[in-house]
């Protein structure tokens, strides 16, 4: 049995997340308190008692999901992944799980990433949209043509599963892309309630800030390969992992390709670890024959 472990990204948060672990396990409580000390505020209070709106703030959401996912993984008896991957933010969790990063360094980088992304979102209004039931290549062509014709930035951001693509860009670019994609046969093309264009050139200021932090952090040799978002293939070289993690902020999340490559490389069971079951659903749409479980 070749086991693959995957970890969710932003959007999987929910009020009360992690409270069960905190209440029932002293080891988990120590992790929460340690994270509170590192971050300089009680993120546990926001996770357990905050509203949905409180948890949507990028500088809270990202460390909260990272923390929940790491603790949930630590609670698994006998976990021994042969390969790991994470969706966007979840890649940081994957790198802690396979030993590339310490928990402390992972959380510190996630804090830098979240703060930098929040600032980048405030520079100018941008957004994202979900496109359903349109071929990826068709969506890519439409994005490219809009940029060429109008100069508006609009790019594929998340290749989530066949028939589900998220695009990212300027508000005018996204509005035009939604119109053209529906005209091209998309079942839906609808703007998402997000405050910025993640995984697009609009994240360049955040990328520069994160790159400095990543370059000054020690990345260790991993215990198993991580399939990284921007290349969708296994990586074990610490320097390459660093560069791919930096490029991820402005590059697309190739999740469909990642899961397909993990399966091609022998993965015959997937375990999603962290809040929600988003990845479990995506993997089922990518390949119905592979068993997937969710642990949160």
Q: Which of 69, 88, 170, 294 is catalytic?
A: 88
User: Has 294 been annotated as catalytic?
Assistant: no
Q: Which of 68, 82, 87, 199 is catalytic?
A: 199
* DSSP one-letter string for 184-235: TT-SEEEE-S-SS-TTSGGGHHHHHHHHHHHHTS--PPPSS-EE-TTT-SEE
* DSSP one-letter string for 265-284: TT--EEEEESSSSHHHHHHH
What angle (nearest 5°) sits at the alpha carbon of residue 98, between those of residues 94 and 104?
A: 75
Q: What is the Cα 43 distance to its own chain's centre?
A: 19
Residue pointed to by tokens 């709106």? 53
- Which residues on adjacent β-strands are paired with residue 295? 273
Residue 82's CB: how many other CB atoms inside 10 A? 18
Q: What is the Cα 30 distance to its own chain's centre?
A: 25
Left, alpha or beta for 266 (phi > 0: left; psi -120 to 50: alpha)?
left
In angstroms, the CA 106 to CA 260 distance is 27
User: Has 88 been annotated as catalytic?
Assistant: yes
Residues known to be catalytic = 88, 199
């Amino acid at each position: 049995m070749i086991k693959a472990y995957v970890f969710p990204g932003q959007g999987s948060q929910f009020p009360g997340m992690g409270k069960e672990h905190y209440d029932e396990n002293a080891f988990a409580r120590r992790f929460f308190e340690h994270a509170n000390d590192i971050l300089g505020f009680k993120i546990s209070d926001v996770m357990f008692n905050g509203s949905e709106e409180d948890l949507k703030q990028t500088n809270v959401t990202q460390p909260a999901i990272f923390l929940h996912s790491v603790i949930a993984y630590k609670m698994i008896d006998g976990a021994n992944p042969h390969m790991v991957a994470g969706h966007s933010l979840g890649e940081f969790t994957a790198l802690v799980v396979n030993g590339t990063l310490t928990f402390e360094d992972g959380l510190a980088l996630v804090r830098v990433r979240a703060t930098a992304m929040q600032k980048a979102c405030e520079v100018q209004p941008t957004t994202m949209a979900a496109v359903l039931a349109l071929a990826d290549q068709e969506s890519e062509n439409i994005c490219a043509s809009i940029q060429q014709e109008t100069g508006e930035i609009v790019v594929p951001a998340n290749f989530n599963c066949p028939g589900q693509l998220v695009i990212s860009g300027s508000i005018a670019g996204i509005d035009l892309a939604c119109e053209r994609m529906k005209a091209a046969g998309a079942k839906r093309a609808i703007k998402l309630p997000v405050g910025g264009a993640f995984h697009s050139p609009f994240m360049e200021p955040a990328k520069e800030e994160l790159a400095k932090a990543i370059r000054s952090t020690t990345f260790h040799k991993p215990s198993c390969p991580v399939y990284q978002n921007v290349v969708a293939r296994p990586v074990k070289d610490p320097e390459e992992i660093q560069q791919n993690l930096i490029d991820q902020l402005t590059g697309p999340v190739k999740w469909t390709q990642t899961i397909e490559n993990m399966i091609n490389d022998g993965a015959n069971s997937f375990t999603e670890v962290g809040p929600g079951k988003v990845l479990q659903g995506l993997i089922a749409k990518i390949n119905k024959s592979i068993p997937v479980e969710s642990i949160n």
